[in-house]
Amino acid sequence: MIEKVTIYDIAKKLDITAATVSRALNNNPKISPATRKLVLDTAAKMNYKQNKLAQALRSGKSNNVGVIVPRIDSNFFASVIRGIEEELHPEGYHVIICQTHEDEKREIENINTLLNAQVDGILMSISNVSTENEHVIKRVIKERVPLVFFDRKMNVDGVSSVTINDFEGGYIATKHLIDEGCTKIAHLAGDQTLEIYQNRYKGYKQALVDHNITFKEEYVLRTKSNVEAGINAAKTLLSQETPPDAIFSSSDFAGLGAIQELKEQGMAIPDDFCVVGFGNEPFTKFMELSISSIDQSPMEMGKMAAKVFLEQINNTNNLKIEKKVVLVPELLTRKSSNRQNK
């Protein structure tokens, strides 16, 4: 086993004190440029590796930021992470990515691990089962580590968040279907334990009310965000005595599944049936039957979350900073719902 090179080994090699080596490695202004260069060159030749954790403990800053997401195999979360990195890397920060896989225990483990690693901040989108993690969130706040929620959030006093206006997204998606002549609009509502899906559902209902269209509970199905759930939902809707003529899906994936089943049952889209999704996943625009969808601006969301963190970490006046940034959704109309401009 090869022993690690220490500052004492470098000091012995150069016949100087370990304190001088330490100061040179940490760019202390008391050390002359010539001595610093000599120490750095010698350290490189001896393959010396600085103990980043010990350095973080001494300085109180690690230049690492933790990002917690439900999963990274999602275009949305991957794009958010890219936005965060693009904003933080020029400021000298490195991003540590953790996944919860929608598992609350893993989410708690991730937070504790990041805190133990002395990260300078945590940016997170909560799992869809977060009910018992308040104590670990309190630990983050108690340790004065900047915390920023994005997309999926908890309502915690003193904690900033960056979200999209999901209510408005649900509203404009449903209004678009009404404008296209649809009068029996169903909704694939997602996981109603999460605020984002609750708000999309509320937007859908409000659009119906504002345009004098009767809300029908049987047209609302709680679905997972996957293709199979969309297929099963479409089967259920089409088997009703009075089937709907449109679907607003809170997920592009469920919307895709619904379209597959609608086509399987001989529906002409958009002539017989219109569909709008949510998320603007890449596949929505590249399919032969492109899918209308609400764009969530994930890159912008990531960049904004990083900016909010930087504002907090650079706050030298010790002021309480709590920001609730809400981005504006955009409806992108495509073949799956665009009857007027075929």
- Among 95-109, 142-156, 203-217, top mean pLDDT goes to 203-217
Least Cα distance to 179 among 265, 297, 106, 274 occurs for 274
pLDDT band at 56 (very low <50, low <70, confident <90, very high): low
pTM equals: 0.81
How many structural domains comprise the chain?
A: 3
Statement: residue 318 has pLDDT above 60: no
The CATH number that applies at residue 31 is 1.10.260.40
**Residue 249 within any structural domain of the chain:** yes
- Per-residue pLDDT averaged across 171-178, rounded? 98
Q: Are residues 77 and 107 in the same domain?
A: yes
Statement: residue 176 has pLDDT above 90: yes
The pLDDT score that the predictor gives to residue 45 is 87
The pLDDT score that the predictor gives to residue 154 is 87
The CATH number that applies at residue 104 is 3.40.50.2300
Q: Are residues 118 and 232 in the same domain?
A: no
Q: Are residues 76 and 111 in the same domain?
A: yes
**Gap between the Cα atoms of 83 and 154, Å rounded:** 21
Q: Are residues 221 and 303 in the same domain?
A: no
Look at strands 246-249 and 274-278 and give their pairing: parallel
Q: Which domain holds residue 207?
A: 166-296
- Per-residue pLDDT averaged across 142-149, rounded? 91
The pLDDT score that the predictor gives to residue 130 is 63
Q: Are residues 112 and 130 in the same domain?
A: yes
**Residue 334 within any structural domain of the chain:** no
Least Cα distance to 200 among 179, 226, 228, 223 occurs for 223
The pLDDT score that the predictor gives to residue 94 is 93
pLDDT band at 314 (very low <50, low <70, confident <90, very high): confident
Q: Are residues 268 and 321 in the same domain?
A: no
Q: Are residues 77 and 141 in the same domain?
A: yes
Q: Are residues 73 and 22 in the same domain?
A: no
Predicted confidence (pLDDT) per residue in 29-45, tens digit = 888 989 989 988 898 88
Question: Following DSSP, what letter does each residue of 168-205 receive, concatenated?
Answer: HHHHHHHHHHHHTT--SEEEE---TTSHHHHHHHHHHH
The pLDDT score that the predictor gives to residue 25 is 81
**Gap between the Cα atoms of 311 and 327, Å rounded:** 18
**Residue 218 within any structural domain of the chain:** yes
pLDDT band at 4 (very low <50, low <70, confident <90, very high): confident
Share of the chain above pLDDT 90, in %: 66
Predicted confidence (pLDDT) per residue in 283-311, tens digit = 999 999 999 999 999 999 999 999 999 99
Q: Are residues 127 and 217 in the same domain?
A: no
To the nearest whole number, what is the mean pLDDT of the chain? 90
- Among 24-28, 36-40, 166-170, top mean pLDDT goes to 166-170
**Residue 340 within any structural domain of the chain:** no
Q: Are residues 158 and 306 in the same domain?
A: yes
Q: Are residues 196 and 208 in the same domain?
A: yes
Share of the chain above pLDDT 70, in %: 92
Q: Are residues 143 and 241 in the same domain?
A: no
